[in-house]
Amino acid sequence: MKVGGQFCPGVLHAVSAKDGLLIRIRVPGGLIEADQLKAVAGLSRAFADGYLEITSRANLQLRGIQDRDLEPIVERIAMAGLLPSPQHDRVRNIVTSPIAGLDSEEVIDPRPLIHELDQQLREENAFVDLHPKFSFAIYGGTRRFSRSNDDISLEAVGLNAGPYFSFSIGGACSGFVVKRGDAVDCMLAAAKMCIRLAKESNLPVRGKAVVMAPGAMKLIVDALSHLLTPSPVSPPSRLVEEALIGIYPTTQNGRVSIIPSVPLGRLTAEQAIYLADAANEWKSDLRLSPWRGVVLGSIPKGASDNIVGPLHSMGLSCDGRDGFRGIAACAGSSGCEASLADVRGDAVSLAHRLLGHAVPSGWTVNFSGCEKQCAQRHGATAELIAGPLGYTLSIAGSPVASDCSPEFALDAVAALHQNLLSEVAVQ
Ligand code: SF4
């Protein structure tokens, strides 16, 4: 077990933060079982700060852990089946649609492939040292939910011959497709090629870095030519910029998905336990989402009112008007030594100002406690970065004010929100 350094966290890689140790738990595809979520909630309540943080790759994070509690935590995470291969603790980023298998726009349910890919990654020592941020994505349809470019991604396309997957590396489309039966082999082989080419050219083992090297895409495609077919269509990719929040129909008769807002991507242990119990009671399933939220999939329509009411009173609103939609904040001064502001507190203050209002399309506000910008999401409507003298505020990528007080910055962002809503109203 590694403890304390400046590395990317895992379960066996606990990072020291201002509020104690922080660990990250891999949840491939965000597909978590109700009892697993409940187990992590119990651990957070007993040994951490009482929250479960959902990451932008749909993994889980616990923070505020004391050194002495680390061992029992690791044991219980392993017992819950969330550390199936200690060597692959940080080979964890497998992204998919959080409504996979429930989405009428889907060409194919990608979840069996997620499980297959995870299992095969864990069987190979070649991937033990894969960069902890390296990410695989498999989407079963035309919608992508992760803003970042994944290192290796497949997106389903419906061709006459059946479902195929369009193959991309570091966000660059290869121009080739792979059939379902070869999809996992293709991803594993591509990852190995990325490792090899990065090593040869002294590049970081990331899809984007490798694919920028002259001739790299051709080398990879040539090496995988037995698995690939030239694509007759353009990739269907459509990025969904906004969190889904509300009650959504599913492909399953009489069943809906309930998708609450999770303020700042942090579930309390009590909220997580409620969600897990609801999933068990109604034979539903749970997924963590790349917008740092949670999906209670496939609930009988008639039961939804019984669930939405209690969720709302616990702080997990499903009406999209709790003010938190689109707002992200880093750990800030409560959790990070580097922070120059209480960004979480300021994010909550902004949400309180926006409470009860609709959200303009694409509304995204990022709060970061320092220049490192851990909360950054590209294309944000407003970006607030704390400095020694106050916030720098950028709107649509352009700085508009610097060294401003939290009140000034929040007023400006709230006014922007109002203006954007008014513009929509007059259109
Ligand atoms: S942006 Fe700065 S303050 Fe916030 S978590 Fe990252 S390093 Fe810490």
HEC assignment per residue over 24-87 = EECCHHHEECHHHHHHHHHHHHHHCCCEEEECCCCCEEEEEECHHHHHHHHHHHHHCCCCCCHH
- Alpha-carbon gap, residue 228 to 224, rounded angstroms: 6
One domain, residues 224 and 131: yes
Residue 424's H or E segment, with its range, is: helix 406-426
Encode the chain (427 residues) as per-residue pLDDT tens digits. Answer: 889 877 899 999 999 999 999 999 999 999 999 999 999 999 999 999 999 999 999 999 999 999 999 999 999 999 999 999 999 999 989 999 999 999 998 999 999 999 999 999 999 999 998 999 999 999 998 788 876 779 999 999 887 777 899 999 998 999 999 999 999 999 999 999 999 999 999 999 999 999 999 999 999 999 999 999 998 777 666 778 788 999 999 999 999 999 999 999 999 999 999 999 999 999 999 999 999 999 999 999 999 999 999 999 999 999 999 999 999 999 999 999 999 999 999 999 999 999 999 999 889 999 999 999 987 777 899 999 999 999 999 999 999 999 999 999 999 999 999 999 988 766 6
One domain, residues 273 and 220: no
Query: Which residue is listed with tokens 């369009």?
Result: 166
One domain, residues 345 and 255: no
One domain, residues 253 and 235: no
Angle, CA of 133, 273 and 39, to the nearest 5°: 60
- Residue 179 Cα to ligand 1 midpoint, Å, equals 42
- Residue 33 Cα to ligand 1 midpoint, Å, equals 31
Closest by Cα among 115, 94, 108 to 141:
108
The protein residue with its alpha carbon nearest to ligand 1, atom 6, reads 374
Q: Which atom of ligand 1 is nearest to the CA of 373?
A: 1
Residue 100 within any structural domain of the chain: no
- Residue 375 Cα to ligand 1 midpoint, Å, equals 8
Which of 207, 239, 271 is the endpoint of a domain? 239
One domain, residues 210 and 258: no
Q: Which atom of ligand 1 is nearest to the CA of 340?
A: 3
- Hey, which of 6, 18, 339, 384 would you mutate to test ligand 1's pocket, going by the most ligand atoms within 8 Å of its Cβ? 339
Which of 197, 223, 239 is the endpoint of a domain? 239
Residue 157's H or E segment, with its range, is: strand 152-159
- Alpha-carbon gap, residue 312 to 187, rounded angstroms: 41
One domain, residues 409 and 338: yes
One domain, residues 111 and 234: yes
The protein residue with its alpha carbon nearest to ligand 1, atom 2, reads 370
Q: Which atom of ligand 1 is nearest to the CA of 337?
A: 8
Q: Which atom of ligand 1 is nearest to the CA of 370?
A: 2
- Residue 368 Cα to ligand 1 midpoint, Å, equals 6
Number of domain units in the chain: 3
Which of 313, 344, 362 is the endpoint of a domain? 313
Residue 319 within any structural domain of the chain: no
Q: Which atom of ligand 1 is nearest to the CA of 385?
A: 1
pLDDT of 152 reads 96
Q: Which atom of ligand 1 is nearest to the CA of 368?
A: 1
Residue 164's H or E segment, with its range, is: strand 162-169
Q: Which atom of ligand 1 is nearest to the CA of 375?
A: 1
Q: Which residues surround ligand 1 with Cβ inside 6 Å?
A: 330-331, 336, 338-339, 368-370, 372-374
One domain, residues 411 and 332: yes
- Residue 333 Cα to ligand 1 midpoint, Å, equals 9
One domain, residues 272 and 231: no
Question: What pTM was estimated for this model as a whole?
Answer: 0.94
pLDDT of 159 reads 74
CATH number at residue 341: 3.30.413.10
CATH number at residue 295: 3.90.480.10
Tokens of 388: 């020694």
- Residue 230 Cα to ligand 1 midpoint, Å, equals 43
One domain, residues 180 and 271: no
Residue 188 within any structural domain of the chain: yes
- Residue 144 Cα to ligand 1 midpoint, Å, equals 27
pLDDT of 414 reads 97
- Hey, which of 16, 264, 336, 376 would you mutate to test ligand 1's pocket, going by the most ligand atoms within 8 Å of its Cβ? 336
One domain, residues 85 and 177: no
Residue 274 within any structural domain of the chain: yes
Q: Domain range for residue 36? A: 2-90+242-313
Residue 264 burial class via C-beta count within 10 angstroms: exposed 0-12, middle 13-18, buried 19 and up = buried
Residue 131 within any structural domain of the chain: yes
Q: Which atom of ligand 1 is nearest to the CA of 369?
A: 3
Give whole-number Cα distances, 204 to 196, 197, 256, in Å: 11, 10, 42
Residue 336 within any structural domain of the chain: yes
One domain, residues 222 and 306: no
Name the β-bridge partners of 21: 16, 65
pLDDT of 426 reads 66
pLDDT of 236 reads 65
- Residue 371 Cα to ligand 1 midpoint, Å, equals 8
- Residue 77 Cα to ligand 1 midpoint, Å, equals 27
- Alpha-carbon gap, residue 348 to 261, rounded angstroms: 13
- Residue 343 Cα to ligand 1 midpoint, Å, equals 10
Amino acid (1-letter code) at residue 62: L
pLDDT of 271 reads 98
Residue 169 within any structural domain of the chain: yes
Residue 97 within any structural domain of the chain: no
